[in-house]
Amino acid sequence: MASVTYTTSNVGAVDSNGILWKATQVGKFTDKLGDCASLWDSLQKSVARNGARQCAGKRDILNVQTDAKGFEFLALGDYQWLTYSQYFDVCDNFGAGLPVKIPSLQKGDTVVIYAETQLEWMQCAFGCWRQGLTVGTIYATLGEEGALFGINQSKCKAVVADARLFKVLAKICDKFTFVKDIIALEPPPEEHRMKLEKAGLTIHTMEEVKAAGKTAGTAPSPAAADEIAVLMYTSGTTGNPKGVLISHGSVLATMAGTLSDSSAIQLNGKSFLTPDTVYLAYLPLAHIMELAVEVSMFSVGAKVGFGSPGTLTPTGAKMQPGQTGDAAMLAPTVFVAAPAVLDRVLIAVKAKFKGTSKMVQGIVESGLASGKANYLKGGVGTKHCIARLVFKKVQKLLGGRVSLMLTGSAPLAAEVQMFVQTVFGCVVRQGYGLTETCAATCIALASDNATLNVGPPQESACIKLRDWEEGGYRNADLDDTAISMRRGEVLIGGPTVCSGYLVDPTDPDPDIVAKNESDFVVIDGTRYFCTGDIGQFTPTGNLQIIDRKKDLVKLQMGEYVALSKVENVLKSSKYTALPMAYALSSMSYVIALICPNKKPLSDLAASLGITGDLNDLEMLCKNEQVIAGVLADVQAESKTAKLSKHETPTKVILISELWTPENDMLTAVQKLKRRQIVDKHKAEIDAKYV
């Protein structure tokens, strides 16, 4: 794997050129993946070692109930497993059958996968990589406009889709420019099939492609390390999604860095990622973090059980009453979640404890205090014996075996990290990376309980900070005794950096052409991606993210406010389910938009003597007494967190409709779409922010 080797000589230290590195032992880095040149190679080698071991599993749907509004609720069976050999045979046959069923497919062509995360998603991806095809990814939540943009811009010749999304394809198929074939993961609804066929598209099922590969398949033709494995469309907080070109070598470098002997996921000489690892796959595979985690799991021979956000727990939105959630059924040892998910876990668990007796509440409070003290000393979990028994009941929601939780895509609040690590009795760490850098650029060390940092870079990356004069963040801040840290825009270098953004040579988008020129720079022979994030190097060799450049707002008097910093404090309020801080440079203060927690808000209204239907969230959100009560709590939390006066929200707007990816207020990975949120709530903001 010489083409993607990247070694360094410093341990979590900043060298004389201002670059943060992490060390590797010579040879160890490349040994982890041998001479793999492609992701297909990595699966083949894993199967050779782990053929008889359980590989991938899913739960059968026993029955479906539909309510009056058409929402489906599932009853699910136990996990059914494929061994590595069985899993590989499906991938092999599917890949071999692609050129048979779709003769126009040539090496290097793109096949888009437009489907929810499921076992078959990765089988199709590995089958494509067997033939040297590029896998295009489009979020299942992206909708008609986003799906059409990605399908047409990628010039893909085929789309793999699950039955649920055939409805979307049927609506946009008349506007397809290149795609001629659709591969259904399961038989699609007949009405949608007929419309697609009427538009001139040929429909295949995955079973048909596999059968063709088994009987008359073609030989493997995997790509080279520098060829494109994935064309990944970002979920996008603004405008059309960008297509990020990621090579096999970049993904392999990420995997090798994560598996290295000095990686972040080692504790006391033991790795959290081994053949004994059990992983619950439920996050979007159209996101680089989930894709990178899954290919890493398969490369070591781990067990990967597939689930969904709606069936994760017994109270999931898609579950029939009395069902066992995916997590409890699978009992994973490694659990990955977006910070927004852990925020909701904290809220739900706190609410569960609040509904118990005063004695139990006292035990819980003592247990949390013990856990925080233990955390600050570098420990995991609480030392309060009775609280440990109480917390075990909560741990069973995730199966009771989680030893490592990883989170990324947004900042993780310190309170949430300490709370979850205490209650679940496992290491909780956050990482940092982007689609353009193949996800896991940094992961906080398992041995380091420091909060609000994303750790040192993996061995497959290095980090440089570029002065941002406009915002006043400079490398020279190291010499300022009030700061004593290098600060600036985060630039990420190394083999995980993508090949750039997709540009149509026949119709180039000038904005994307400009981004390819401005976002990727070469400094002293190393190619860097310019992230747009502002960060700082801590004295311990960790990276801390301050905020996005575009989310750092300069107020009227010249002070800068990091919106995500304020939002992390807002999450500490018991009334907050989901917050957004908002500020304009023409104003001198910050306001907060908050989607509230219904039960605490109702309790607040009752305590204030407010009459009427206290379950009417819209009414509560408009009540000035309730708003004043929430603002007082937010400002108290801001004082506890030591926010400065200009950072502390002066006014609060309560939002009765929760922001979700479905209403286009969040991305598929739960990031705020600030512009859309502001546009939707412009009237409330204009009335309040004066």
97, 198: one domain: yes
Residue 498: phi and psi, rounded to 5, are: -65, 175
The structure tokens 């009853």 sit at: 75
Residues 332 and 429 in one domain: yes
96 and 202 part of one domain: yes
Torsion, CA 297, CA 299, CA 302, CA 306, rounded to 10: 50
CB of 626 within 8 A of CB of 608?
yes
Q: Which domain holds residue 617?
A: 555-688
Nearest CA-CA partner of 628 in 664, 604, 609, 661: 604
Classify residue 426: in a domain, yes or no: yes
- Residue 527: phi and psi, rounded to 5, are -90, 130
The residues, ordered by sequence, that sit 6+ positions from 482 with a Cβ below 8 Å of its Cβ are none
Main-chain phi, psi angles of 43, to 5 degrees: -70, -45
Instruction: Give the span between the Cα atoms of 476 and 503, in whole angstroms.
Output: 37
Q: Which of 494, 516, 548 marks a domain boundary? A: 548
In a domain, 311, yes or no: no
Number of domains in the chain: 3
Whether 48 and 191 share a structural domain? yes
Instruction: Based on the fold, state whether residues 432 and 483 are members of the same structural domain.
Output: yes
Among 241, 270, 301, identify where a domain stops: 241
**Tally of CB atoms within 10 A around 311:** 24
Q: Which residue has the tokens 């401005």?
A: 518
- Domain of residue 46, CATH code: 3.40.50.12780
In this structure, the answer to whether residues 525 and 543 fall within a common structural domain is yes
Residue 428: which of 409, 408, 442, 410 has the closest Cα?
A: 408
Cα diameter, the chain: 76
Look at residue 282 and tell me if it is in a domain.
Answer: no
Backbone angles phi and psi of 676, in degrees to 5: -65, -40
Contact 433, 490 (CB under 8 A): no
3-state helix, strand, coil in the chain (%, to 5): 40, 20, 40
**Three-state secondary structure readout of 182-251:** EEECCCCCHHHHHHHHHCCCEEEEHHHHHHHHHHHCCCCCCCCCCCEEEEEECCCCCCCCCEEEEEHHHH
Specify whether the CB–CB gap between 491 and 465 falls below 8 A. yes
The token pair that represents 318 in the structure block: 């898609």
Where b means 16+ CB within 10 Å and e means fewer, 269-298 reads eebbbeeebbbbbbbbbbbbbbbbbbbbbb
Closest to 289 (Cα-Cα) out of 478, 442, 517: 442
| Three-class secondary structure of residue 550 per DSSP | helix
Whole-number pLDDT of residue 146: 86
Query: Given 211, 241, 271, which residue is the final one in a domain?
Result: 241
The pLDDT of residue 434 is: 94
Helix H, strand E, coil C: the string for 86-151 is HHHHHHHHHHHHHHHHCCCCCCCCEEEEECCCCHHHHHHHHHHHHCCCEEEECCCCCHHHHHHHHH
* Co-location of 540 and 577 in the same domain: no
Short-list 1, 2, 4, 5, CA closest to 35: 1
Query: Average pLDDT of each block of 10 consecutive residues along the chain (690 residues)?
Result: 33 74 45 79 96 97 90 94 98 97 96 97 98 95 87 96 95 96 95 95 97 93 96 73 94 89 78 95 94 96 96 90 95 93 82 85 95 95 94 93 92 90 96 94 92 90 93 94 96 95 92 95 94 94 90 85 91 93 92 94 94 91 96 95 92 94 83 91 91
Structure confidence at residue 330 (pLDDT):
98
Taking the C-alpha atoms of residue 590 and residue 592, their distance in angstroms, rounded to an integer, is 7
Instruction: With CA atoms as reference, report the closest residue to 26 among 461, 528, 459.
Output: 459
- Tell me whether residue 16 is exposed, middle or buried, using C-beta atoms within 10 angstroms of its C-beta: 0 to 12, 13 to 18, 19 or more: exposed
Considering the domain architecture, whether residues 333 and 438 belong to the same structural domain is answered as: yes
Q: Has residue 647 been placed in a domain? A: yes
- Whether 166 is covered by a domain: the verdict is yes
Rama region for 239: left / alpha / beta (φ>0; ψ in -120 to 50; rest) = left
What integer pLDDT is reported at residue 268 of this predicted model?
79
Amino acid type, 671: K
**Spatial contact of 128 and 43, defined as CB atoms under 8 Å apart:** no
> Is 271 among the domain residues?
no
| Site of tokens 């001198």 | 588
Would you state the pLDDT for residue 33?
Answer: 65
Report pLDDT for 241: 81
DSSP state of 80: E
Is residue 510 exposed (0-12), middle (13-18) or buried (19+ Cβ within 10 Å)? exposed
Does residue 256 lie within any of the structural domains? no
Q: What is the pLDDT of residue 550?
A: 85
Nearest 5°: the CA angle 256, 257, 262 is 115
Please give the Cα distance from 139 to 127 (Å, whole number): 20
3-state secondary structure (DSSP) of residue 432:
strand
Are both 439 and 525 inside the same structural domain? Answer: yes
Which run of H or E residues covers position 342?
Answer: helix 339-354
Phi/psi at 442 (nearest 5 deg)?
-130, 145
Do 182 and 223 fall into the same domain? yes
The CATH code of the domain that includes 578 is: 3.30.300.30
**Same-domain check for residues 634 and 607:** yes
Q: What is the pLDDT of residue 110?
A: 98
Q: Is residue 314 part of a domain?
A: no
Q: In angstroms, rounded to a whole number, what is the distance separating the alpha carbons of residues 298 and 631? A: 48
Residues 172 and 150 sit within 8 Å (Cβ to Cβ): no
Q: Are residues 565 and 512 in the same domain?
A: no
Per the listing, tokens 């499906």 go with: 90
What is the chain's length? 690
Whole-prediction pTM: 0.87
